[in-house]
Amino acid sequence: MVKAAVLVSGGGTNLEALLKAEEEGRMPSLHIALVIADREAYALKRAADHGRRGILIERRAIGMKRFSEELLKTLSENGIQMVILAGFLSILPETVIEAYKDRIINIHPSLIPSFCGKGFYGLKVHEAALDYGVKVTGATVHIVNEIPDGGRILMQKAVYIEPDDTAETLQRRVMEEAEWIILPQAAEMIAKEIENESR
């Protein structure tokens, strides 16, 4: 079984979906061994409620260089083989991307290549989709490389925009109808690949 870490910055509903999937036996190839937050986040409480280890490495307090060092050290000391970004809002340090090449996945709340890249995160993504006037949006899980939201796409799911949607209602529907479904599925897919490679 692959040991995974989930990196978070906020409410942690995607983390909750992952923990639920593991507990219900829908991710048999991985175990969420660690949750790491880059700032005070409700997601850490969710981790504790599920009996998982949570670690806070406050990026703003220690600066990017030390954050990178601490993060890499924590991952390797805990034998982490795969990293899942679930609402993680810092840019991931290059050292981590290199150390975990093809073993880091991210959930993004749009159909990449629309509304993605630098500056597109959280509600801003949904505001941009509504401002543009697209009628279909969704979520994407992709491999993380050095280009923000630019790595290989693993899964996507479309969500229709309703005429009376606000950024908030759209965010919620994209989570419910797309993110919470495809993130556990893609995580299981990559964990299975890692297991097969090490056989």
Residues forming the site for ligand GAR (CB under 6 A): 10-14, 43, 86-87, 107-109, 121-122, 125, 175, 179
What DSSP designation does 127 have?
Answer: H
Shortest spacing between CB 193 and ligand GAR, in angstroms? 22
Shortest spacing between CB 180 and ligand GAR, in angstroms? 9
- Strands (E) in 9-162, as ranges, are 30-37, 53-56, 82-85, 104-108, 136-143, 153-160
H helical segments located in 24-158: 42-49, 59-77, 94-99, 123-132
Shortest spacing between CB 183 and ligand GAR, in angstroms? 8
Q: Which is nearer to ligand GAR, 96 or 195 (CB)?
A: 96
Q: Which is nearer to ligand GAR, 100 or 121 (CB)?
A: 121
User: For ligand GAR, which residue has the nearest CB?
Assistant: 87
Report which secondary-structure segment, H or E, holds 4.
strand 2-8
Rounded Cα distance, 95 and 30, in Å: 23
Q: Which is nearer to ligand GAR, 31 or 173 (CB)?
A: 173
Shortest spacing between CB 197 and ligand GAR, in angstroms? 27
- The catalytic residue among 31, 50, 108, 142 is 108
Q: Which is nearer to ligand GAR, 22 or 179 (CB)?
A: 179
Rounded Cα distance, 155 and 173, in Å: 17
Rounded Cα distance, 47 and 79, in Å: 18
Cβ partners under 8 Å of residue 180, min gap 6: 13, 14, 17
Instruction: Give how far Cα 24 sits from Cα of 32, 62, 135, 165, 176, Å.
Output: 13, 37, 34, 32, 18
108: annotated active-site residue = yes
Which residue numbers are catalytic? 108
